[in-house]
Structure 1
Amino acid sequence: MKRFYSDAAVVPADEGYAVVLDGRPVKTPGQRPVAAPTRALAEAVAEEWQAQGETLDPAAMPLARSLNSAIDTSDEQRAAVVTSLSRYAETDLLCYRAAGQPDLAERQRYLWQPYLDWAAERFAARFALAEGVMPVVQPQATVDALAAAVARFDRFRLTGVHLAAGVTGSVVLALALEARFASAEQVWTAASLDEAFQAELWGEDSEAAERRAGIAAEVRAADRFLSLLDAG
């Protein structure tokens, strides 16, 4: 789609701060006005619109995509997102340690265990660990505790946490990012640990490098979205 506007700006609105293009409201795919709960987030989304060239590139607008998703999330969809996040607790990346690779298993323990200890203290969520890829059944109390934790988020914050969990495979890492227990770089390092270890041993092909770069970009986007919700 060709660019159809000159200027993107932010104006006060009933829903918070609306993004406008040449004074006209921007609409989500669900035809709702694009408005953020904080001026900082609205201004960042407007900057994404302003930075577009002659042809619009949605891939270059991660904040706008996340904001649209949050706005268009119905109550029913919100409940589905909460359920989806609670299911990540059943298969969380941090619970699966390498079998037959003691060096990798030790690195996983060193890097991942602090997050599990934090979750146990913060949410009373204690995970069972496993070696290899065979599923391990997590205590129902743990799944319920994390479901309750994410259910408390509004639809904006829930969107950022869901994005982080989806790209990392870990609701614990996503919650650590939201709570500022860990930075985006720390979360990305934890989420891509296995790939980084294998790259050290065997080298990294272009496909693997692209995948790791994609994880990093998505984690940073989720982190910035959540940070702008806190910025006021």
Structure 2
Amino acid sequence: MKRFYKETGVDAGEDGFRVLLDGKPMRTPAKAVLVVPTRALAEAIAAEWAAVPDKAEINAAHLPLTRLAATGIDRVVARRDEVIADTAKYAASDLLCYRAAGPDSLIGLQRERWDPLLAWAAERHGARLVTAEGIGFVEQAAEARARLHEAVSAHGDLALSALYNLTHTAGSVVIALAVSDGRLDAAGAFAAAQTDELYQVDRWGDDPIAEKQREGVRRDIEACARFLSLLENARLRG
């Protein structure tokens, strides 16, 4: 589908802020009106559509904030408990808990980037996760998993859309919650999630396929972090 509209805008209503295309409310793929709780997010979504060149093909990959909002409206609302469970389950196998057996330089880098985040999760959410060397499964305490499930559940539907995507992209619910809480920015989240990969690049060099994959991860993390930031205090349920 090519660009079919001339102007974008934002309209405030009782239920939030609507994004307008030529004065008409934008709708999600499921035909629901796209309404978000903050003007900042609505304006950012409108800016994505305004940036589409005249008569150019509309590429969903260039509309990450729109996709996250539409997913929250169309899917999370109807499947909230499932989305929470699919996000919180990472507490049982979080990336930050599985450490390299060597070399010492990688062990040290993992400790530097990951230990402060696990300490934050313990202090902020009362979730004390244990670490293990290698890829063998490590059992996490039921209380720690429950605390992180509660932290995920505290998010509103739109925020859950971003939190779910961020958790799956990073392989870590701790990283995702740290971004939502403002403990990590997008660059910090990317560095934490890609610690092992970036270490290997520094040691052995890069290749085009791996570089392209990492850039995709970077863009996804940046979009989710920006989306959560634009939701401001509305990311949490009232």
Distance 2:75 2:2 in 1: 27
- Deviation of 1:133 (Å): 1.2
Distance 1:21 1:110 in 2: 47
Q: Does 1:99 align with 2:101?
A: yes
How many residue pairs end up in the alignment?
232
Q: Does 1:27 align with 2:30?
A: no
- Deviation of 1:57 (Å): 1.1
TM alignment of 1:14-93, pairs within 5 A:
14-53=14-53, 54-93=56-95
RMSD: 1.3
Which string of whole-angstrom CA distances, capped at 9 and with x for unpartnered residues, describes residues 18-69 of structure 1? 0111111111011100111001100110111111122111110000000101
Deviation beyond 4 Å, 4+ runs, structure 1: none
Say if 1:164 and 1:174, in contact at 8 Å, map to a contact too. Answer: yes
TM alignment of 1:131-142, pairs within 5 A:
131-142=133-144
What TM-score results when the alignment is normalised by the length of structure 1? 0.96
2:12 aligns with 12
Q: Match of 1:17, SS?
A: strand
- Deviation of 1:200 (Å): 1.2
- Deviation of 1:191 (Å): 0.6
Say if 2:69 and 2:158, in contact at 8 Å, map to a contact too. Answer: yes
Distance 1:3 1:12 in 2: 24
Say if 1:3 and 1:56, in contact at 8 Å, map to a contact too. Answer: yes
- Deviation of 1:76 (Å): 4.5
Distance 2:26 2:14 in 1: 15
Distance 2:109 2:154 in 1: 33
- Deviation of 1:109 (Å): 0.8
What TM-score results when the alignment is normalised by the length of structure 2? 0.94
Distance 1:13 1:29 in 2: 21
Q: Match of 2:101, SS?
A: coil
Say if 2:18 and 2:36, in contact at 8 Å, map to a contact too. Answer: yes
User: Gaps (5+ residues) in structure 2?
Assistant: none
- Deviation of 1:134 (Å): 1.4
**Which amino acid counterpart does residue 177 of structure 1 have in structure 2?**
V
Q: Match of 2:79, SS?
A: helix
* The 10-residue stretch of structure 1 (60-69 or 22-31) with the greater mean CA deviation from structure 2: 22-31
Distance 1:86 1:111 in 2: 21
Distance 1:230 1:5 in 2: 29
Distance 1:21 1:202 in 2: 49
Pair 208,106 (structure 1): closer, same or farther in 2 beyond 3 Å: same
